[in-house]
A = this chain, B = another copy of it.
Amino acid sequence: MEKALSLTEENYIKAIFQIGTTPESNVSTNALADSLQTKPATVSDMIKKLSYKKLIFYEKYKGVTLSESGLKEALKIIRKHRLWEVFLVNHLNFKWDQVHEIAEQLEHIKSPELVNRLDDFLGNPTIDPHGDPIPDANGQVQLGSSKLLSEMTSHENGIIVGVKNEDPLLLQHLDKINIRLGLYIEVKEVNGFDQSMQVKLADLGTLFLSEKITSQILIAKNL
């Protein structure tokens, strides 16, 4: 029986997963140090440890990637994080911008039985309150094809299915302008200079969005 990961190890694995998902390249020491609010020297040491444990592949000066087992661990943590977020929002009436920090703690609770029962209690949700997919007990993720609002052009439309970022400031702003998951959205006009957009929201009228914001919103094709 392999020893369970420490809280710190789990945070490294999760950070590697999250940085690694966007570009399909190795994760650099500096990027990890940034993401984990620590120093490159510290990351360098931990990388050796995780590599020794075969959770990551590592070549000096070349950054890291998750191994099979590392990926499995990452998905377990993500699964727990997102299930707890569903619980917090759906049953304890937290707002979507208030749950990230608490879920960061809850994601480290170790009990497979607890996770699976929580999953059932919640009705086996497939997305969390921010629209991110929840891996199932086998680590399978159901990823609906979606694209960023910022990548769409005039007259394209779809359904808002997710937000890339859990920054409370962004989420609170989206709340204020009535952007919620599940809403129909249509691109009216794109400003060629700054990529800002005029969009129409369901029957809530039109609004302007900067590229900073449209690049955080995920849209699924409206079939």
For chain A, the bracket of interface size reads 10 to 19
A residues apposed to B, CB below 8 Å = 88, 91-94, 98, 101-102, 105-106, 109-111, 113-114, 117-118, 121
Minimum Cβ distance to chain B for residue A80 (Å)? 12
CA–CA, A113 and B94, complex, Å: 9
15 residue pairs from A and B, CB less than 8 Å apart: A88-B114, A91-B121, A92-B114, A92-B117, A92-B121, A93-B117, A94-B113, A94-B117, A98-B113, A101-B111, A102-B114, A105-B109, A105-B110, A105-B111, A109-B109
CA–CA, A102 and B116, complex, Å: 13
CA–CA, A114 and B98, complex, Å: 10
Decide if B111 touches A109 in the complex (CB within 8 Å).
no
CA–CA, A196 and B33, complex, Å: 63
Contacts of A117 in B (CB 8 A): 92-94
CA–CA, A118 and B94, complex, Å: 11
Decide if A102 touches B92 in the complex (CB within 8 Å).
no
A108 nearest CB neighbor, chain B only: B105
Minimum Cβ distance to chain B for residue A93 (Å)? 7
